[in-house]
Structure 1
Amino acid sequence: MKLPIVAYGDPVLKKKAIDFEPGETDIKKLVEDMFETMYGARGVGLAGPQVGVSKRIFVIDATPFDDDEPELADFKKVFINAQILEETGEEWAFNEGCLSIPDIREDVYRQSHVRIKYLDENWVEHEETYKGLAARVIQHEYDHIEGKLFTDKLSPLRKRLIEKKLNDISRGMVKVDYRMKFPAVKKGR
């Protein structure tokens, strides 16, 4: 089932998400719904807070980047209760976007390597290191479960320049071809 994606301005996007406990929810169904939602919106990652679930979960499928990095072919993963253990390497810029902030893309600097510990959808623990675009997608989605957005990494001047667009998104004044929930739109209108 495709879930509505929460738009910029909703408090759930700025709240640090909490861990899942085994058995508290149907993880497999949530993961399936999150992938369906992400694919329907043509994204490469989606975090729990983006669908109104303030829990530490995100899904990624970096396969669209396999032209740039062939090792990303079939790079599809689920991260539950993730903890970044280390970010290393040279910072590099990449033009990022976000399904919760449609029509805005900005250069964001992130480190090139990330070491992360997480559980998969079968509650199996992993500790792995990623680099390049895989690391970047993981860092972007991890920020969501920490209550951070890519716009938080922009300079104050850059943020002021896009402030009107951000406010318009919050009010639903943006065209998207996927379901969204806008925080500043009154129900029943």
Structure 2
Amino acid sequence: MAVRPVVITGNPVLHRPAAKVTAFDDDLQSLVEDMYETMDAAHGVGLAAPQIGVALRLFTYAFPNDDGVPPRGVVVNPVLTLGKISQEAPDPDEEAEGCLSVPGHSWPLKRAEWVRVTGQDAEARPLDFEATGWFARVMQHEYDHLDGKLYVDRLNDKWGRKARRAVKAEGWGRDGRFWTPGVDEDPFGH
């Protein structure tokens, strides 16, 4: 197991759809172990494979929930069915989201309060569960990475402008930027 560098917005792997996982083999098991190690070192609640430069459709998560779902897991080749997303303005105090690939920043975003997740685990066994509240948010956030989207791509105009200014001020938005959890200073202050 190894902690891998987390790529920052601008790396092409973050901005294009990832490929379906077809081989449930030792390489996949090693990838999943590295993803858990990286997620834990970053104090993250989720990590999608594209965030460590691997263009495959899987993500790990570590999030306690009241939905009867194990608080730690991996979802391979997920499909999400979303509940309704409110059209109200997001609450900056209650709905601020962050991302390991936009390190140290957070902005508010409306998400569905309910999702159904189907897919597979790392051994190709079927998964099918519902997620609510913040757990649903985690599922949507990680799933977006698999479609080449970052949460900052979904922000409303006001928050999107702030995010674009911050990305520019950080010198991001181009390939070659990354940080290594447990090695580099924690951008979230954990």
Shorter-chain TM range is 0.7 to 0.9
Q: Note the C-alpha offset of 1:174.
A: 9.8
- 8 Å Cα contact 1:20-1:80 kept in structure 2: yes
Bigger drift between 21-30 and 124-133 goes to 21-30
Closer, same or farther in 2 for the Cα pair 1:177/1:46, shift >3 Å?
closer
Report the identity percentage.
33
- 8 Å Cα contact 1:22-1:123 kept in structure 2: no
User: Structure 1 CA distance, aligned partners of 2:163 and 2:37?
Assistant: 30
Give the match for residue 81 of structure 1. 77
Give the match for residue 133 of structure 1. 134
Count of residues in correspondence between the two structures: 174
Classify the secondary structure of the residue corresponding to 1:80: strand
Closer, same or farther in 2 for the Cα pair 1:118/1:177, shift >3 Å?
closer
Classify the secondary structure of the residue corresponding to 1:111: coil
Give the match for residue 53 of structure 2. 52
Aligned residues: CA RMSD: 2.7
Closer, same or farther in 2 for the Cα pair 1:132/1:40, shift >3 Å?
same
Classify the secondary structure of the residue corresponding to 1:13: helix
Give the match for residue 27 of structure 1. 28
Closer, same or farther in 2 for the Cα pair 1:20/1:173, shift >3 Å?
closer
Which residue identity does 1:19 align to in structure 2? Answer: K
Closer, same or farther in 2 for the Cα pair 1:169/1:57, shift >3 Å?
farther
Instruction: Show CA shifts across 1:108-155 (max 9, x none).
Output: 101111112110011101222211111110000000001111101112
Q: Unpaired segments of 5 or more residues in structure 2?
A: 185-190
- Larger % of strand: which? 1
Closer, same or farther in 2 for the Cα pair 1:99/1:72, shift >3 Å?
farther
Which aligned segments of 4 or more residues in structure 1 are displaced greater than 6 angstroms? Answer: 171-176
Q: Note the C-alpha offset of 1:44.
A: 0.5
User: Structure 2 CA distance, aligned partners of 1:149 and 1:74?
Assistant: 25
Closer, same or farther in 2 for the Cα pair 1:77/1:45, shift >3 Å?
same
- 8 Å Cα contact 1:7-1:169 kept in structure 2: no
TM-score normalized with structure 1 length: 0.81
Q: Unpaired segments of 5 or more residues in structure 1?
A: 64-68, 181-189
Closer, same or farther in 2 for the Cα pair 1:88/1:141, shift >3 Å?
same
2:37 matches 1:36: yes
